Structure 1
Amino acid sequence: MQTNPNRVGAVQTTIEVIRALLDLEEATIASVAEEVGLSTSAVHNHLATLEEAGFVTREDGSFLPGYAFLEIGGRLRSDLDLYKYGRPEIDRLAKETGESANLMAMENGQGVVLYLAKGDDAIQFDAYTGRRFNLHTNALGKAILSELSRERVETIVERHGLAAETENTITDETTLFEELEQVRERGIAFDDEERLEGLRCVASPVTVDGEVLGSISVSGPASRLNRDRFREELPEQVSRAAELVSINIQY
């Protein structure tokens, strides 16, 4: 990706320091400095400024992201109609199916998990609120892509690529567009172990006045999401939930 000539170096450094706090097991001044390639004094200044503003906390010599990030994210999310009307349907889907139900929006050509709920039988996997995924790797993302113009999908692919997550991930642009056409026709996207081995997912887009706002899904182990449940039962439940969210947002 081309570097923005107008970006502010100090801000970029602060962003790198914050990301280091997330990635490092023990984020000391020394370990963060090594991670971002800066002097310890420079990193200390960035961390001290973030700490004073409440964006970083200190515990036993290590630094952690502060709850100020959660406050910002929470306020942003609570203002979204997709979250406001989608959350009750996600909770209901999780309860009815016993699996994981998920709500995704799109930002900068990637999928962002807005909310998820776990049913009684749900398995643990690597999704959490705020987690980003490349759209081509999963049902939620393909449901969103199916509602975009070909030109916009091509732009997203050019920016983020079609990297493989498993041997089942779509990595060819022609195959992707063929898949998106099928998703568009049936209103349902399937993820058959394309992002994680052993995990299947069924998703449907949430649209209002022809614009896609996000998508809803149910995911679970391939051993349970099989045959008619994967291809018929869950698609009906998920598409109905997505339709209800769309109607509630609109009216």
Structure 2
Amino acid sequence: MADRPDSTSPRTLKTVQRAFDVVRALQDLDGAGVTELAEELGLSKSSTYNYLSTLREHQYVVKEDDTYRLSYQFLHIGEYVRGQTDIYRHGREELDILAHETGRYVHLATEQHGLGVNLYKVRGEEAIGSRYQQSKLQRPDYLHFSATGKAILAHLPRERVEWILDEYGLVRKTANTITDPEELFAELERTRERGYSINAEEEIEGIRAVGAPILAQDGEVLGSVSVSGPAHRLRQPEHRERLVEAVTDTANVVEVNIVTQDSDDDEFPDFRDA
């Protein structure tokens, strides 16, 4: 499903790599001047200025006084990429319904390059942790401490999971975060057996979540959906069971939506190029 680095690929172009370094630095610094950016990247001011000028000429960077920032071009690109994703196109409306029914934050995620990508997030009327939840849309996440991430990991081949752990490790976010590989593999086995994942305050203290995988017909994991809420509520068995039923039902509906669309495409082929 997801791409990962290929050690046999041709050598990368340093100029292209450096241009992406500039883009990432502008994101991390929330905009910067030439001097600050040059110091951040270890480049000369003239080289930094040349990269910024090129990106600005192609409308990927804007200049406000002496500060350079990323432009809305990246927003358009991101929306295009997200719109090409099956689980987003066929799951967005279902997540809106789930958020309305549960009153909680709901999340739709997938995996790429061994990290979790948050594709969509909806806030229910009783949701908490708004600032933190919104920030999750702006960056990739480790997979091992979230309900969406563990639902995905549980259905990836073990070899793939081992590669992810070797690449990124098991970063601790709270006292409850699983940081031992064998303990994580045991948790992933339990997740497969019961059909849903649990985030027991492993990502942020005071918030728990339950998640379910979204699977293709051949069993490949396409992504996952989760619901998060106050830890004290999700510790209550009746409340947790209601959320588990709601999130697994939503995942199943998204799977059916995807299969139905694929079937429609097969039944009505595109003859435009015939």
The TM-score range, normalised by the shorter chain, is: over 0.9
Matched, 1:166 2:174: yes
Name the counterpart of 2:195: 187
Deviations along 1:170-215, one digit per CA (max 9) or x if unpaired, are: 1111101110011001111000110111111110000012110000
SS at match of 1:129: helix
Structure 2 counterpart of 1:214, one-letter code: G
Which aligned pairs between 1:78-157 and structure 2 lie closer than 5 A? 78-123=83-128, 124=130, 125-126=132-133, 127-157=135-165
Name the counterpart of 1:204: 212
Matched, 1:236 2:245: yes
Cα distance, 1:165 vs. partner?
1.1
Deviations along 1:82-116, one digit per CA (max 9) or x if unpaired, are: 10011111111111111111000100111100011
Asked if the contact 1:83–1:115 (Cα under 8 Å) also holds between the matched residues in 2, the reply is yes
Tell me which of 13, 35, 58 is aligned to 1:30.
35
Cα distance, 1:60 vs. partner?
2.2
**Greater than 4 Å deviation, 4+ residue runs:** 1-5
Asked if the contact 1:82–1:213 (Cα under 8 Å) also holds between the matched residues in 2, the reply is yes
| Alpha-carbon distance between aligned partners in 1 of 2:198 and 2:239, rounded to the nearest angstrom | 9
Asked if the contact 2:31–2:70 (Cα under 8 Å) also holds between the matched residues in 1, the reply is no
Structure possessing the higher radius of gyration over alpha carbons? 2
Cα distance, 1:79 vs. partner?
1.3
TM-score, normalised on structure 2?
0.87
Deviations along 1:220-242, one digit per CA (max 9) or x if unpaired, are: 22133331255311100000000
Asked if the contact 1:103–1:116 (Cα under 8 Å) also holds between the matched residues in 2, the reply is yes
| Alpha-carbon distance between aligned partners in 1 of 2:232 and 2:151, rounded to the nearest angstrom | 23
Change (3 A) 1:29 1:11: same
SS at match of 1:57: strand
Structure 1 counterpart of 2:48, one-letter code: V
TM-score, normalised on structure 1?
0.95
Matched, 1:213 2:218: no
Asked if the contact 1:112–1:130 (Cα under 8 Å) also holds between the matched residues in 2, the reply is no
> Where does structure 2 lack aligned partners over 5 or more consecutive residues?
261-274
SS at match of 1:216: strand
Asked if the contact 2:233–2:240 (Cα under 8 Å) also holds between the matched residues in 1, the reply is no
Asked if the contact 1:114–1:130 (Cα under 8 Å) also holds between the matched residues in 2, the reply is no
Structure 1 counterpart of 2:26, one-letter code: L
Cα distance, 1:152 vs. partner?
1.6
Structure 2 counterpart of 1:46, one-letter code: Y
Tell me which of 68, 73, 77 is aligned to 1:72.
77
SS at match of 1:202: strand
> Where does structure 1 lack aligned partners over 5 or more consecutive residues?
none
Q: CA RMSD in A?
A: 1.8
Structure 1 counterpart of 2:90, one-letter code: Y
Asked if the contact 1:110–1:133 (Cα under 8 Å) also holds between the matched residues in 2, the reply is yes
Structure 2 counterpart of 1:32, one-letter code: L
SS at match of 1:243: helix
| Alpha-carbon distance between aligned partners in 1 of 2:238 and 2:71, rounded to the nearest angstrom | 42
